[in-house]
């Protein structure tokens, strides 16, 4: 009896989710969604598991959210996977996190190719371990001609460093007479950032109850709609992404106007 009740409950939830998704598609879907995937360690601690178990579970979440974003028609999904500050974490945890791109792309890449998804990255990727970098570069190369969802991983990424580097490059170009100081505008500055090939995020999601952006895309988030949830990343399900987009669709984006 219990199993039957669970079956019908899951079926009802699935049906309701499909109805909500259909309604979402009738309105404006955010073109670029960025997610700070937080709470893997706490998820594991709550279950008295090692922190790496939370990261493993979080990887499963990346798969289901990528699939749903693609189905909804999101054009770019940026996932904050590892920050420039995360090297401070315990060595074993960092080593495990650095193995995740291989695990994720090793099993999921064929499906990404089939779904026409293009893998890209931002961050100081050359500083990643060779095996991590190889997995990432292989996925980028094999999907470079795809024209569907852009799955953008922020790996070894930090916004302050990105902005400082952009300033240095602009100064060099000014000194080299490639541009004039009067040419510098917000639009020009954006072309010097790692996200020059992407539109700014329309929606930022952060999980786990933290209400900050943690050195993530600070320039790009100037007019982004922010949505925070207490849900830990491994527990973040399709209905949570749908809820975030529902909230997004009910907000008025004025961009400084009336």
User: Residue ranges per domain, the chain?
Assistant: 29-158+200-249
Mind listing the pLDDT tens digit for each residue in 29-59?
A: 999 999 999 999 999 999 999 999 999 999 9
According to CATH, the topology of domain 29-158+200-249 is Undecaprenyl pyrophosphate synthetase (3.40.1180)
Mind listing the pLDDT tens digit for each residue in 56-72?
A: 999 999 999 999 999 99
Catalytic residue among 86, 146, 169, 215: 86
Mind listing the pLDDT tens digit for each residue in 66-123?
A: 999 999 999 999 999 999 999 999 999 999 999 999 999 999 999 999 999 999 999 9
Please state the φ and ψ torsions of residue 234, each to the nearest 5 degrees: -60, -20
Provide the strand spans (E) within 9-103: 32-36, 76-83
**CB-based contacts of 252, cutoff 8 Å, min separation 6:** none
- pLDDT band at 138, cuts 50/70/90? very high
Catalytic residue among 38, 70, 152, 156: 38
**CB-based contacts of 242, cutoff 8 Å, min separation 6:** 17, 20, 21, 24, 68
> Is 38 annotated as catalytic?
yes
Task: Give the DSSP H/E element, type plus range, for residue 153.
Answer: strand 150-157
Entry pTM: 0.92
């Amino acid at each position: 009896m219990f199993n039957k009740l669970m079956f019908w409950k899951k079926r009802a939830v699935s049906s309701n989710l499909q109805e909500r998704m259909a309604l979402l598609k009738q309105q404006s879907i955010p073109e670029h969604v960025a997610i700070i995937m937080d709470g893997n360690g706490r998820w594991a601690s709550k279950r008295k598991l090692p922190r790496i178990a939370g990261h493993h579970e979080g990887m499963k979440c990346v798969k289901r959210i990528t699939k749903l974003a693609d189905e909804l028609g999101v054009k770019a999904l940026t996932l904050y996977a590892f920050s420039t500050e995360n090297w401070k974490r315990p060595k074993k945890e960092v080593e495990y996190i650095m193995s995740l791109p291989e695990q994720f792309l090793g099993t999921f890449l064929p499906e990404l190719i089939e779904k026409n998804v293009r893998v890209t990255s931002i961050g100081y990727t050359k500083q990643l371990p060779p095996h991590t970098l190889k997995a990432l570069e292989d996925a980028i190369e094999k999907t470079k001609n795809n024209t569907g969802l852009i799955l953008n991983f922020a790996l070894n990424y930090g916004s302050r460093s990105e902005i400082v580097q952009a300033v240095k490059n602009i100064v060099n170009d000014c000194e080299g007479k490639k541009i004039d100081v009067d040419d510098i505008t917000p639009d020009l500055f954006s072309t010097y950032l790692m996200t020059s090939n992407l539109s700014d995020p329309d929606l930022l999601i952060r999980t786990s109850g933290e209400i900050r952006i943690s050195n993530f895309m600070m320039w790009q988030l100037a007019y982004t709609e922010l949505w925070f949830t207490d849900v830990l990343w491994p527990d973040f399900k399709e209905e949570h992404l749908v809820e975030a987009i529902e909230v997004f669709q009910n907000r008025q984006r004025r961009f400084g106007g009336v």
